[in-house]
A and B are shown apart, each in its own frame.
Chain A
Amino acid sequence: MTETNLLEPIWLRVLEITPQLTKATYETLLMVLIALSIAAVIGIPLGVLLVITRPGHIWEQKWFYKIANLIINIIRAIPFIILMFAITPFTRLIVGTTIQLKGAIVPLVVFTAPFIARVTESALLEVNKGIIEAFLAMGASPWQIISKVLLKETRSTMVLGMTISAISLIGASAMAGVVGGGGLGDLAIRYGYQRYEGDVMVVTLAVLIIMVMGMQNLGNSIAKKLKK
């Protein structure tokens, strides 16, 4: 029996776990998409604020900049696996539970929003100061400068930044699987690691690799299109 098991072609085992694999893929994608969307809604404006409130910029707010900068650095310093457990009271406050998809989304958002803020910040800082000055001289309002200069000029870089964020979210979502969020990471750990089913591990990793490559390619091609 053990011998046949060993010789059993991998695809047969794949076929066997297809339902779990599909479910896990779906869960991962769902987690990434939901967390990414919410994190973007928080992170992009935060990144914009980090740029425009710094000294000498269009909406200088020294203290806001210093405090936001500090908080982001602190959150970014905490490894996700620790962050996830450390903020459980907060997670419960927001969604009422710390497990399942809902419970996983909150720490993922807390983890990714500062990341997106930094990605946005570094993209926006690339915009030539002279262009901003030219628009100030044309009588543009701060909001017009954000929408017509900062975000418009960097839209290609921003798409690449969001791609990086999405991919780092896939990694984090694997850890979120531990609290019952499910997903591919969870599958790999439960079958591949805890039950020593190496083939499941391999298949799961293959799906993750395809997912990462697909996202990167999609991001690259959108960015290319937006770049002029």
Chain B
Amino acid sequence: MIEITNLYKTYQSNEGNVEALKGVNLKVEKGEIFGVIGFSGAGKSSLIRCVNMLEKPTEGSVRVNELEMTKLTKHKLREARKKIGMIFQHFNLLETCTVFENIAVALELSHIPKASINEKVNNLLNIVGLEDKKNNFPSQLSGGQKQRVAIARALANDIDILLCDEATSALDPQTTEAILELLLDINRKFKITILLITHEMHVIKKICDKVAVIEDGVIIEEDTVLNTFTKPKTQTTRNFIKSIMEDELSESVLKKLRTKKENNKILRLTFIGGSASQPVLAIIAKELPLWPNILCGNIIQIKNQTLGRLIIELTGDCQSIDEGIKILKDHNVITEVLNYD
């Protein structure tokens, strides 16, 4: 659906060149929700804007629906853009137009007859749940409602792909949830592929199927969201995960552990889906002379899967601990021994 190959983007300024993207490769499959996460300045904004050529890549190829975007004529590019919707952090609605007009204008751009515009806009208002606001002006709407208008406007031309440029970054947590639900809904109902960029791991875990982590203009990690959460490969990714899932022991707990005399090991256990439903800790405590002690725990929902994570202290003799770890692994619990010395 979207295939980005060896993409470079360099901005020229008086202070010298800034390399925003340095050889990015990315493939987004049809129907997927693909998230790109990165800190500000990592290049994610340049990346998403290169997809619809709002930013012209310095080098490399961007293929959308088998169409090489970098080589299109102006006219062909406009036609291609009509099938790629985009929503923004600051909504970008016409301030002097009503909600209805703001959506209708997208159809006017495609020269659709007035009669069908009316019907279509009403239908779109229904999808985003704003029927009662159609004659309001953007200044009378909340941030979430404005983003709904922007989504309706983006959907107007029966798009295949929706690009979301930090679409929830200006919204409060509750509104963010509602907008993410709406995006998920649109993805399922209309089979629209979504490419989004964000700096919030929460957005990734809530709706994305796949995630790419971008840093300093390079994709440093790319996998399914579940794999990324369970087996992060880079420190940046771990930091992002930490932002929504407490994963490390506090200094005070560590201090206490260090002073202990008993033989123990600190384990990080990760439960996915089914393995979360078995009382594994009870099992090892019952079968072996072991005393598991929970130090820290989290359960989060990743799209439609549950991910549980515990950090435990396992006290007992060395052999029992090793056997205990084996039992945990046999029950499909991802078990890592942490070293806190």
Binding site for B on A (CB under 8 A): 128, 130-131, 133-141, 144, 148-149, 152-153, 155-156, 226-228
Contacts and interface: CB of A to CB of B under 8 A. Distances in A.
Given A138-B157, A153-B94, A227-B96, A148 B86 contact: no
A141 B77 CA distance: 10
5 contacts: A133-B54, A137-B163, A139-B81, A141-B78, A156-B96
B54 to A, nearest CB: 6
Contacts of A152: 94, 96-97
A152 B93 CA distance: 12
Interface residues of B, number: 31
Contact of A138 (B95, B96, B97, B109): B109
Given A139-B80, A152-B96, A153-B96, 17 more contacts: A128-B92, A131-B93, A135-B109, A136-B54, A137-B81, A137-B163, A138-B109, A139-B77, A139-B78, A139-B82, A139-B109, A139-B110, A140-B78, A148-B109, A153-B94, A156-B96, A226-B96
A139 B109 CA distance: 8
Which label, helix, strand, loop or mixed, suits the secondary structure of the B interface?
mixed
Contacts of B90: 128, 130
Interface string B122-138: 00000000000000010
B84 interface: yes
Given A136-B54, A137-B84, A137-B86, A228 B137 contact: yes
A138 B81 contact: yes
B29 interface: no
Contacts of B157: 138-139
A141 B153 CA distance: 17
B91 to A, nearest CB: 8
A139 B96 contact: no
Nearest to B101: A152
Contact of A140 (B80, B86, B109, B154): B109
Contacts of A130: 88, 90, 92
Contacts of A141: 78
A140 B77 CA distance: 10
Which label, helix, strand, loop or mixed, suits the secondary structure of the A interface?
helix
B52 A137 contact: yes
What 9 A-B pairs are tightest by C-beta distance, nearest first? A139-B81, A134-B92, A139-B82, A137-B86, A139-B78, A130-B92, A131-B92, A140-B109, A228-B137
Contacts of B139: 228
B54 A137 contact: yes
A62 to B, nearest CB: 15
A149 B153 CA distance: 14
In this complex, the member of B82, B92, B95, B110 whose beta carbon has the largest number of chain A beta carbons within 10 angstroms is B92
A184 B106 CA distance: 50
B105 interface: yes
In this complex, the member of B95, B154, B157 whose beta carbon has the largest number of chain A beta carbons within 10 angstroms is B95
Nearest to A142: B74
A141 B78 CA distance: 7
